[in-house]
């Protein structure tokens, strides 16, 4: 009896949510923990998990979170119409990606006069405030998505651009030149398109159908700015 009441948020029995009504068809077995919350703000099941996961080893906790992050990375790399990113949102992945990108993009502090590259804080601020702005815009346009779900999706879809950054850095080791630039331009363009397709696949369903273009355009601008920072990066 008590166990039944403690069960993690089984979508079929919670109060009605018009957006995720289809989730009642999906059954979640009792021993897969649900990491994120759906759009209902009231019910908080966090305390239950504290009491049941507090005694496990740190290794278990970290591996569980890392596996969840890794699963979402796979969903971004192969974007299908799925609700995983939205249903179990978490912000670990975006944080890891943002920190990696900012570390790789920052200019060398000793050469701050020569290069117009961004600081670490600048990249960080651009990513997070850009994501917040896009979320507010999509909510104001009448979207059905919650704040953190949108942040989660936008953050995870930076993964292709981070991969592009790694490739660009490797390519730059070969030395500058026009061929070098064309290769990097091609890689960045492909990854930019991938990011946009991935984020549209997740976000499109939450917008009213006739306003999808209005919601996708700022996403396009956001990833364009990040791609531009990656393409024009030159190590000193």
Q: Which residues bind another protein (CB under 8 A)?
A: 1-2, 5-6, 44, 47-48, 51, 113-116, 118-119, 122, 126, 136-137, 139-142, 176, 181, 210-211, 213-214, 217-218, 221, 224-225, 228, 232, 234
Q: Select 26 or 221, whichever has its Cβ closest to another protein.
A: 221
Q: Select 19 or 172, whichever has its Cβ closest to another protein.
A: 172
Rounded to 5°, angle at Cα 125 from 121 and 131? 155
Q: What's the min distance (Å) between Cβ of 43 and another protein?
A: 9
Distance, in Å, from the CA atom of 210 to the CA atom of 208, rounded to the nearest integer, reads: 6
Q: What's the min distance (Å) between Cβ of 223 and another protein?
A: 11
Q: Tell me the backbone φ, ψ of residue 207, rounded to 5 degrees.
A: -100, 155
Q: What's the min distance (Å) between Cβ of 66 and another protein?
A: 27
Distance, in Å, from the CA atom of 120 to the CA atom of 117, rounded to the nearest integer, reads: 10
Helices first, then strands: H and E counts in the chain = 10, 0
Q: Select 186 or 228, whichever has its Cβ closest to another protein.
A: 228
Structure-derived torsion over alpha carbons of residues 107, 109, 111, 113, reported in degrees to the nearest 10 = 90
Q: What's the min distance (Å) between Cβ of 164 and another protein?
A: 16
Q: What's the min distance (Å) between Cβ of 148 and another protein?
A: 15
Q: Select 45 or 84, whichever has its Cβ closest to another protein.
A: 45
> Are 107 and 123 in contact, with CB atoms under 8 Å apart?
no
Query: What is the DSSP code string of 48-84?
Result: HHHHHHTTS-HHHHHHHHHHHHHHHHHHHHS--S-SH
């Amino acid at each position: 009896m008590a166990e039944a009441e403690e069960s993690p948020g089984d979508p079929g029995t919670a109060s009605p949510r018009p957006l995720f009504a289809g989730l009642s068809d999906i059954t979640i077995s009792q021993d897969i923990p649900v990491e994120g919350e759906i759009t209902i703000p009231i019910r908080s099941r966090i305390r239950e998990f504290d009491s049941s996961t507090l005694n496990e080893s740190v290794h278990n906790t970290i591996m569980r979170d890392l596996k969840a992050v890794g699963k979402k990375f796979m969903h971004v790399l192969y974007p299908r119409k799925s609700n995983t990113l939205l249903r179990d949102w978490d912000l670990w992945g975006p944080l890891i990606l943002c920190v990696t990108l900012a570390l790789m993009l920052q200019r060398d502090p000793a050469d701050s006069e020569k290069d117009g590259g961004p600081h670490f804080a600048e990249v960080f601020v651009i990513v997070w405030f850009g994501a917040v702005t896009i979320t507010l815009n999509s909510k104001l346009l009448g979207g059905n998505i919650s704040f953190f779900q949108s942040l989660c999706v936008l953050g995870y879809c930076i993964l292709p651009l981070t991969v592009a950054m790694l490739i660009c850095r490797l390519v730059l080791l070969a030395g500058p030149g026009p061929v070098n630039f064309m290769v990097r331009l091609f890689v960045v363009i492909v990854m930019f398109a991938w990011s946009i397709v991935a984020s549209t696949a997740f976000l499109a369903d939450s917008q009213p159908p006739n306003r999808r273009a209005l919601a996708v355009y700022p996403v396009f601008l956001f990833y364009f700015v990040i791609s531009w920072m990656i393409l024009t990066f030159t190590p000193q």
